[in-house]
């Protein structure tokens, strides 16, 4: 089946793109096309205008600020995966990107496209929520900034302004002493995950654990952060980690579909979150940040 007929524009600036979007409420942004093109072909998406943002140079930048690495929406996933700023300052994202699709899809797919598309299984969205990234849209002439923890509201559903363009995602820089862990289960390597978990733990110079961020993905309508503050005042022993993660996952509603039962997702995501926390603690113990 082929896509419905649509007009095509290729703006050179964000302002131009936002003008085009404001002028047609049935317009759609085309970024890497790895999700949109299949949807067009299956007529799950029927825009009257495609706004191709691939030629807007402003959207391909990495900007380092005091506390964040801002990644432009059109940065290809494969480019982010090998970028020194990402590898040094957002090790959790560098780890998760290995699991996003295949190298050919990562060569086209973008960081912004994955966030805007909001697939519940998206590894990039899981990292954004676990680290509480800042997601910036331009809507007309205004910037609209969302915390990732508020942005995702349902499967492929977000708080994005209907005629807005996602311009950048600000990931908090990892503290100097920190460890990360990322795990997922998928039918085949690089398939969409059935369950996934991410963790980042930071410590003070004397080794005291200061912050623990844990998130799970592919289990509900969107990735979710887990309430694990109890670990901060605990012995961080294996039994304690298991108890706290099981208690935290008890609050998470998991979904059932053709691929996996809700009980399976809850059990596997809990196990993966335990492994991710252990990996992060081991990295701190060994003083190795992979």
Give the interface with ligand FAD as residue ranges (CB under 6 A): 28-36, 53, 73, 100-101, 105, 109-110, 112-114, 116-117, 119, 121-123, 165-166, 190, 192
Q: How far is the CB of 89 from ligand FAD (least distance, A)?
A: 21
Nearer to ligand FAD among residue 120 and residue 179 (C-beta): 120
Nearer to ligand FAD among residue 60 and residue 242 (C-beta): 60
- Among 29, 192, 206, 200, CA closest to 119: 192
- Among 211, 209, 207, 212, CA closest to 197: 212
Alpha carbon of 24 to those of 7, 20, 280, 285: distances in Å? 11, 7, 47, 55
Nearer to ligand FAD among residue 97 and residue 252 (C-beta): 97
Classify residue 156 as left (phi > 0), alpha (psi -120 to 50) or beta.
left
Q: How far is the CB of 37 from ligand FAD (least distance, A)?
A: 6
Q: How far is the CB of 137 from ligand FAD (least distance, A)?
A: 7
Q: How far is the CB of 106 from ligand FAD (least distance, A)?
A: 7
Q: What is the spatial distance between Cα 135 and Cα 71, in angstroms, rounded to a whole number?
A: 10
Nearer to ligand FAD among residue 179 and residue 215 (C-beta): 215
Q: How far is the CB of 231 from ligand FAD (least distance, A)?
A: 28
80-108 in b/e burial notation, b at 16+ Cβ within 10 A? bbebebbbebbbbbbbbbebbbeeeebeb
Nearer to ligand FAD among residue 123 and residue 271 (C-beta): 123
Alpha carbon of 215 to those of 64, 199, 201, 222: distances in Å? 24, 7, 12, 11
The DSSP-derived string for 47-95 is -SEEEE-TT-GGGG-EEE-SSEEEEETT-BHHHHHH-HHHHHH-HHHHH
Q: How far is the CB of 112 from ligand FAD (least distance, A)?
A: 4
Q: How far is the CB of 143 from ligand FAD (least distance, A)?
A: 13
Helix axis angle for 262-286 and 238-250, nearest 10°, is: 140
Nearer to ligand FAD among residue 13 and residue 190 (C-beta): 190
Nearer to ligand FAD among residue 118 and residue 248 (C-beta): 118
């Amino acid at each position: 089946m082929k896509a419905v007929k649509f007009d095509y524009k290729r703006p050179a600036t964000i302002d131009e793109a936002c003008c085009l979007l404001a002028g047609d409420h049935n317009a759609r942004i085309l970024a890497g096309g790895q999700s949109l093109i299949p949807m067009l072909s299956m007529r799950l998406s029927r825009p009257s205008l495609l706004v191709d943002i691939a030629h807007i140079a402003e959207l391909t930048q990495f900007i380092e600020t005091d506390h964040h690495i801002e990644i432009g929406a059109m940065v290809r996933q494969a480019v982010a995966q090998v970028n020194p700023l990402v590898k040094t300052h957002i090790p959790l994202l560098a780890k998760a990107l290995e699991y996003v699709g295949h190298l050919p899809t990562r060569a086209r797919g973008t960081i912004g496209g994955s966030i805007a598309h909001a697939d519940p299984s998206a590894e990039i969205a899981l990292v954004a929520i676990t680290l509480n990234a800042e997601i910036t849209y331009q809507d007309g002439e205004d910037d609209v900034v969302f915390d990732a923890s508020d942005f995702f509201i349902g499967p492929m559903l977000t708080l994005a302004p209907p005629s807005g363009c996602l311009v950048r995602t600000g990931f908090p820089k990892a503290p100097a002493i920190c460890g990360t862990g990322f795990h997922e289960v998928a039918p085949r390597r690089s398939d969409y995950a059935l369950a996934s978990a991410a963790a980042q733990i930071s410590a003070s110079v004397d080794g005291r654990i200061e912050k623990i961020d844990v998130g799970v993905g592919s289990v509900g309508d969107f990735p979710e952060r887990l309430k694990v503050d109890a670990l901060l005042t605990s012995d961080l022993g294996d039994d304690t980690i298991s108890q706290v993660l099981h208690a935290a996952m008890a609050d998470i509603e998991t979904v059932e579909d053709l691929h996996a039962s809700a009980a399976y997702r809850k059990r596997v995501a809990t196990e993966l979150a335990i492994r991710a926390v252990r990996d992060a603690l081991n990295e701190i113990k060994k003083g190795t940040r992979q």
